[in-house]
Amino acid sequence: MFRCLVHLAVLSPSAGLSYPSFPGAELLGVSMGKRLDPHQYSLLAPKTNLDAFLTDQELSISSSFSNPATFDGHLRIYPVLRCNLACAYCVNEEMGPTVKDYPRVEPEAWAQAINRAGRHVVLTGGEPFLYKGLEALCNMIDPQLKVRVYTNLCLDLAKRLSSLTRPVHFYVSWHPGQNADRERFLANIGAIEASLHLSHTTHAIEALESTDFLAEDLAWFADRNLILDLDPDQRGFAGSGQATARPALCRRKIILIGPDGARYQCVSKLMRAKDPLSNFLTGSAPTPIPTHTDAEELLSLCPEFGRCAPCDQLGQTRMDLLTSSSTERP
């Protein structure tokens, strides 16, 4: 017998999210000979014998994508999905309509859950500085845990940066062509560098849409002693931006947490609030976040290869595209 988690309900942008309740999943027994619908997302038991499963389901692997990167064990939390910029190349916008407005979760609730998990954390988004209370959240996280923040650093942040009392590393992206204030950006970098416990890694986004502005911006910052590395465009991944979607076995080691605390297997589902798993804030079933170093892999039969986010190719990932071995089961 194979056991899998089959989602009986999914969220849509019109579902009217309210923290902390939302549709979940039910643990079902899938007997040998019972065909799963390859057009429905099904979370499989982590130790499923895939050869036997594919034979029983009359499916075969036609091609594969694999990223051998090693899972770093970090939580990746999206306290907000809203952003102060509107970049044409934004990987989050590749999903089409997304759910961006969530009731705010208090910093204390986030900090308690992070400290309970005992994992290093990456705070991202959206623009995490649009989350009111980001500094308080960072300061409440166990000092033994590393805190990293992905940000465009384009807001007026001098006072907020000065209120951080613990080590925080900022991964900073400069987005050419967004009419962002370069002087303000540079002042924020200066505030980080003046702090004894803040640090940063800063790059500029290299994309087709930013070509006309990139060289001028790089030269402007270089004249002021800020050398920006280049981060390549993540688009081009065959699993994203396709006109049609295909079923695939998706195996990932990653912990992605949305603004309401729901865990998702991929950024694409997180952005669309589709197929949520456990709730990180409440620890509710069916797939609670492991607290040991080697987090449980998420293995699923997913119908949406082609609708992945461009960044879903990153991290420890394997995606096996599937075809039917038989058109009809006797």
Strands 147-151 and 198-206: unpaired
Q: Per-residue pLDDT tens for 51-88?
A: 999 999 999 999 999 999 999 999 999 999 999 998 88
b/e sequence 19-53, b meaning 16+ C-beta within 10 Å: beebebbeeeebeeeeebebeebbbbeeebeeeeb
CB 148 within 8 A of CB 168: yes
Domain boundaries, the chain: 1-151+234-330
Tens-place pLDDT, residues 168-219: 999 999 999 999 999 999 999 999 999 999 999 999 999 888 889 999 999 9
Q: What is the pTM of this model?
A: 0.85
Q: Are strands 316-324 and 59-67 parallel, antiparallel or unpaired?
A: antiparallel
> How far, rounded to the nearest angstrom, does the alpha carbon of residue 56 sit from its chain's CA centroid?
32
Whole-angstrom distance between the N-terminal and C-terminal Cα of the chain? 20
